[in-house]
Structure 1
Amino acid sequence: MLRCGLRPDHYTFPFVLLAAANLQSLYHGLAAHASIFKLALHDVDHVQHSLLTMYARCGQVGLARKLFDEIVVRDSVSWNLMLSGYAKMGCAGEAVELFRRMRSEGLVEPDEVTLVSVLAACGDLGDVSLGMWLEELVGEYGLVLNSFLGSSMIDMYGKCGDLDSARRVFDRLAKKDLVAWNAMITGFQTRWQVGLPPQPDLKKYKSRSDYFHAASMLASQKYDIHKLLFEAGVMLRARMSGLTKLQNVEIEAVAVEELANRDLQLVGSQDESAATLALKMRVQRLPS
Structure 2
Amino acid sequence: MVLLLARANYNSHSPPAADPALGLLPRCKNPRDFRPLHARLITTGLLRDPSVAARVRSDPFLWNALINSSSSPVRALLTFSLMLSRATVAADAFSFSLALRACSRASSLAVGSQIHSLILKSEHSPNIYLQNALITLYSKCRLCGVARQVFDRIPVRDSVSWNSMIDGYIKNGDMDAAESLFDRLGDADRNSVTWNTMIGGYASSVDGIDAARALFDRTPVRDLVSWNLMIDGYVKCGRLADAECLFQQMPKRDVISWANMINGYMDAGIIGMARMLFDEMTGRDVIVWNVMICGYVNNGKFVEALHLFNEMRAECDVSPDNVTLAAALSAVSELGRLCDGIAIHDYIKRNHLSLEGKLGVALIDIQLSSTSDDPILSPPVSEPIANKNIKSFDLSQVPSNNNYPVDDQAYFVFCYPLCLRKPKQFMIILSFFVVVREATVIPEWCDAMTIVLKAFATYLYMGYCSTAT
Q: TM-score range with shorter-chain normalisation?
A: 0.5 to 0.7
Give CA deviations for 1:224-255 in whole Å, capped at 9, x if unaligned.
x99x97x995648977xx769932439x99xx
Aligned equivalents of 2:232 and 2:93: distance in 1? 38
Structure 1 position 24 matched with structure 2 position 107: yes
Q: Name the TM-score, length of structure 2 as normaliser.
A: 0.41
Q: Does 1:153 align with 2:223?
A: no
Q: Which range moves more in the overlay, 119-128 or 49-58?
A: 119-128
Greater relative CO, 1 or 2 (CA 8 Å, sep 6+): 1
The Cα of 1:120 is off from its aligned counterpart by 2.1
- For the pair shown, the structure with the greater C-alpha radius of gyration is 2
The whole-number CA distance in structure 2 between the counterparts of 1:182 and 1:74 is 37
Q: Which residue of 2 aligns with 1:133?
A: 214
C-alpha distance in 2, partners of 1:50/1:133? Answer: 31
Residues 1:215 and 2:295 are matched in the alignment: yes
Task: Tell me the residue number matched to 2:161.
Answer: 78
Q: Aligned to 1:2, what secondary structure does the other structure show?
A: helix
Give the length in aligned residue pairs. 224
Q: CA contact under 8 A between 2:297 and 2:330: conserved in structure 1?
A: no
Distance 1:11 1:237, change over 3 A: closer
Distance 1:127 1:245 in 2: 32
Is the CA contact 1:96–1:121 (under 8 Å) kept in the aligned structure 2? no
Q: Name the CA distance, whole Å, in 1 between partners of 2:297 and 2:194.
A: 29
Distance 1:31 1:244 in 2: 41
Counterpart of 1:143? Answer: 222
Deviation at 1:30, TM superposition (A): 0.6
Indicate conservation of the 8 Å contact 2:313/2:319, yes or no: no
Shift of 1:87: 2.2
Distance across 1 between alignment mates of 2:229 and 2:318: 35
Match of residue 360 from structure 2:
none
Partner of 1:108: 189
- Relative to structure 1, the CA distance from residue 44 to residue 237 in structure 2 (aligned partners, 3 Å threshold; closer, same or farther) is closer
- In structure 1, the residue matched to 2:413 is none
Identical-pair percentage = 28
| Shift in CA distance, 157/49, structure 1 to aligned 2, threshold 3 Å | same
Whole-Å separation in 1 of the counterparts to 2:327 and 2:108: 38
Matched, 1:97 2:175: no
Paired with 1:237 and 1:87, the residues of 2 have a C-alpha distance of: 35
Q: 1:97-146: per-residue Cα shift (whole Å, max 9, x none)? A: 2222223xx561221x22222112212452344222212223xx2333x2
2:132 aligns with 49
Which residue identity is paired with 1:39?
Answer: S
Q: Which runs of 5+ in 2 are unaligned?
A: 1-82, 273-292, 336-469
Q: CA deviation at 1:51?
A: 1.0
Paired residue type of 2:232: D
Residue identity opposite 1:102 in structure 2: L
Partner of 1:247: 329
Query: How far apart are residue 46 of structure 1 and its match?
Result: 1.0
Q: CA deviation at 1:38?
A: 1.2
Question: Cα RMSD (Å) of the superposition?
Answer: 3.9
Question: Partner letter of residue 271 of structure 2?
Answer: G
How many angstroms apart in 1 are the aligned matches of 2:144 and 2:92?
26
Shift of the 128–236 alpha-carbon distance from structure 1 to 2, 3 Å rule, reads: closer
Seen in structure 2, the aligned counterparts of structure 1 residues 132 and 42 have a Cα distance that, compared at 3 Å, is same
CA distance in 2, matches of 1:27, 1:238: 40
Any idea what SS the aligned residue of 2:227 has?
helix
Summarize the Cα distance change of 1:118–1:216 in structure 2 as closer, same or farther, 3 Å threshold.
Answer: farther
Matches of 1:215 and 1:160, distance apart in 2: 17
Unaligned runs of 5+ in 1: 197-212, 254-288
* Map of 1:179 onto structure 2: 256
Cα gap change, 1:158 to 1:102, in 2 (>3 Å): farther
Corresponding residue SS for 1:85 = helix
